[in-house]
Amino acid sequence: MVLNPVISKLSGKLVVLASSSPRRLEILRNAGLRFEVVPSWFKETLDKRLFKAPHEYAVETAKQKALEVARRMPVKHLKTPDIVIGADTIVTVDGMILEKPVDKQDAYRMLSSLSGKEHSVFTGVAIVLCHEKDDDEVDYQLIDFYEETKVKFADLSQDMLWEYINSGEPMDKAGGYGIQALGGMLVEYVHGDFLNVVGFPLNHFCKQLDMMYNHCSFINPEKTESVYDSHSTPILIEQKDTSTSIPRPSSPSASPLHKVRQHRESEANINSLSKQDAGEIKLHNSETAILRSREGAVIDHSEPQKGDLELIYELMDGFKASKALFTASKFCLFDVLHKKPGLDAEQIAQEIKASVKGTETLLEACVSLGLLKTRDTTGRPKPGFENADVASCFLRSDSRFSLNAYILHCNDTLWPVFSHLESAVREGTSQRGKVKASTEICQEAKLRFMHAMHSSAKVAAAAVATAFDLSSYKTACDVGGCTGAFAYELTKTHPNLSVAVLDLPAVVEMSGPFQRQHADKRVTFKAGDFLKDELPKADLYILVRILHDLSDEKLHILLRRISDACTPGCGLLLSEIFLDENRSGPSRGLLQALSMSEGKQRSAAEYSRLLKGHGFITAQVKHTNNLLDAMLCTKA
């Protein structure tokens, strides 16, 4: 293919790449494309379980990245791009989607799962065409497609895997490897587009541009023709002119090409998105759909939309899935199958001392949830069961990232509290007082709570500890650090850092078992009340999941005391669930707020303003795609 006639079609247009990937930049620049880079703010937190095929997840992520930039630029950058390009690359093997590893252990898990196997690399690409109107409105059209490449890894030894991981190359690459660099030594063969594995399917992209500009007229916003091939699915969506919000598709599978209208009146319009605003999609044929606003439009409600119906049923059945997970954990089911994989239902029933019928029903439910897998047991009348990878990683009580203790805490403590949610909403107060003796404060209950917090903290600790360069700090104080899970991870990541963990005397007294697990002399424990007692002197103060739980009065007392203890240049590392600016997500933080504690869940901007009031200037914010986000501030 001669590329110049295709790329030249974009000459003189403001082309924007919604990605900071150096590999995508290099591929497109080498093709002669001139463009600006505006990284997307879209959080890659889509639920993979909602997608029937891996490529649908990659395409939807690419689409959301591109649309976020296209919507933001007229407001934030005061200019409208002509074209925005979004892309997302994933690796899939054995039905699992592998993205970027969170740490070295995660990289090892990914690479060892690829060893000796053929896997698929999918890149979803979204092209947003922006048409500026005379009335300060913008029409958007979106074309998306995907490319699949098959890659086969050689059989890799443990030493070779760790040598590659320790090179540092895997940490920012989907699937944990870069085929264009050292990772190429791991690859036995490639079937398909090599550049697709690097991060962008240039050939397919140029073909798409050729179809858009040379073979059809659908890029005219007044027309509804669309192009289609086996890997691209453009659909046109039309919204009534009077609407002031930008609709989102009602499900991950809906509308990969749409034309929507945006008013520039305020940034709030960008965030005021809902399925109700979006109306309903009517398919005219396999390639084209029209979305009409509720204002003045006749909408046929004769059939419920499948995506909406699935969402409602998923929410209604959510408590059943939670209780299935809790019950399986209570019976130590995942530990049993780790020690004895392949047992059938009757054998497992004997192990956990439960009925065969009940055990079989629970096992099948866990398979449907993706927690267990069935194993063919030749010669036996019934199949055997084994842990899925997610269970091996998070649900075994002895795994490094085990959430077992936190899951039991959810079952024994949070479940009873949330059973009183109607009263909590009516009264606006916590319902913990209504929960009976099983959750009363006693020594054993406190220890269970500490194990739960330690369990949860370990999963998030590495992502927070590696979020920023902390090499300029030598001493730190982890305020309310409980078992020291974050402190130990910080000293492991930053060898020159020593951390003092400050918590109540009773907590420090019971933290002995956790201290003995690590035996790191750089972590010390100090008993005290951070609202009353003197804070240890430090270069860096750490607040992990503390502020969200404090009343405004206590919060300001704590921040004032930390500010008084700091000298100019001291740091403050804050880690919380950062809500979106319009408080529309993430749902985990908003659902947690239903416990009606005296505190408040906040966005990153709200925390930044809060800290600024106590003399701390926000230096960096990191959305980790883990349980917690992070913010690094400096005392002015």
- Dihedral, 452, 458, 460, 461 alpha carbons, nearest 10: 130
* Alpha-carbon span 525 to 523, nearest angstrom: 7
User: Which whole-number Å values give the CA distances from 581 to 404, 440, 534, 602, 603, in the listed order?
Assistant: 32, 37, 35, 9, 6
Answer whether 437's CB lies under 8 Å from 429's CB. no
Question: Phi/psi of residue 571, each to 5°?
Answer: -105, 160
Answer whether 623's CB lies under 8 Å from 43's CB. yes
- Dihedral, 47, 51, 56, 62 alpha carbons, nearest 10: -10
* Alpha-carbon span 270 to 292, nearest angstrom: 19
**Which helix (H) or strand (E) element contains residue 264?**
none
Answer whether 55's CB lies under 8 Å from 148's CB. yes
| Residue 404, token pair as written in the block | 């077992």
| Residue 269, token pair as written in the block | 């319009």
* Alpha-carbon span 39 to 47, nearest angstrom: 22
Q: Which amino acid is located at 518 in the chain?
A: H
Answer whether 203's CB lies under 8 Å from 195's CB. yes
* Alpha-carbon span 454 to 477, nearest angstrom: 18
Residue with tokens 């409208």: 80
Residues in the chain: 636
| Residue 322, token pair as written in the block | 């939670």
Active site residue 88: yes
Answer whether 456's CB lies under 8 Å from 450's CB. no
CB neighbour list of residue 361: distance below 8 Å, 6 or more residues apart:
none
Q: Of the residues 47, 82, 88, 412, which is catalytic? A: 88
User: Which whole-number Å values give the CA distances from 16 to 133, 151, 211, in the listed order?
Assistant: 19, 30, 20
| Residue 5, token pair as written in the block | 């006639």
The DSSP code for 75 is I
CB neighbour list of residue 292: distance below 8 Å, 6 or more residues apart:
238, 239, 240, 279, 280, 282, 299
Answer whether 271's CB lies under 8 Å from 582's CB. yes
Q: Please, where are the H alpha helices in 40-103? A: 54-72
For residue 610, the SS3 value is: helix
Question: Known catalytic residues?
Answer: 88
